[in-house]
A and B are shown apart, each in its own frame.
Chain A
Amino acid sequence: DAGVTQSPTHLIKTRGQQVTLRCSPKSGHDTVSWYQQALGQGPQFIFQYYEEEERQRGNFPDRFSGHQFPNYSSELNVNALLLGDSALYLCASSLLRTTSNEQFFGPGTRLTVL
């Protein structure tokens, strides 16, 4: 049973560019959440997708957008990259109707913006 997978593992971009990160949820899960983890900090919630709609959003600018596909996989897009966007981006999947909505995390994509 495959867990949460993310691609790519590492990415280097320059300021102003755009980036797309990808996530495949754990088998049987229908909900995908994205988190940003800056160096030395805890993960911060970006947004959550369920049934191809953004269900909840954290305190992130509109430069951060996402998408969920019918197979439940998801993309995170960041436009007009800033140096401060350098971070580990974590994807988590869950099954919405479970009591605690426990989230399972992928290995992350490390984004470096130069």
Chain B
Amino acid sequence: AQKVTQAQTEISVVEKEDVTLDCVYETRDTTYYLFWYKQPPSGELVFLIRRNSFDEQNEISGRYSWNFQKSTSSFNFTITASQVVDSAVYFCALSEAGSGYSTLTFGKGTMLLVSP
């Protein structure tokens, strides 16, 4: 069965520090998508990135970057020069072809606290 593990429950950093959020997944499917979502205190899940299982290229978007490694089943997320506005809960999620990509399996989330 599919599973997503975010081992870091909470991370606290000071503004301008770099921070990496870890995500490890399990799936029997060879075709799947991986996602990162941000959940601010308001509760709405904000989509950050989607990655196809066939595309292992790392991606950078501004201060955000993602490192996808199939060999270790990991999809880690790095925020460079963190800001107070980055404070939120971050979720990694998996969607499999076997379910028609119908369902998202989420990790338990990592709460990031960025202090000034």
Contacts and interface: CB of A to CB of B under 8 A. Distances in A.
Contact of B44 (A41, A103, A108): A108
Please list the 6 inter-chain residue pairs (A to B) with the smallest Cβ-Cβ separation, ordered nearest first.
Answer: A42-B106, A101-B101, A105-B45, A56-B102, A45-B103, A107-B44
Nearest to A31: B102
Contacts of A56: 99-100, 102-103
A101 B45 contact: no
B102 A55 contact: yes
Task: Give the bracket for the number of chain A residues in contact with chain B.
Answer: 20 to 34
B47 A42 contact: no
B63 interface: no
A37 B4 CA distance: 15
Interface string B71-110: 0000000000000000000010101000111111111110
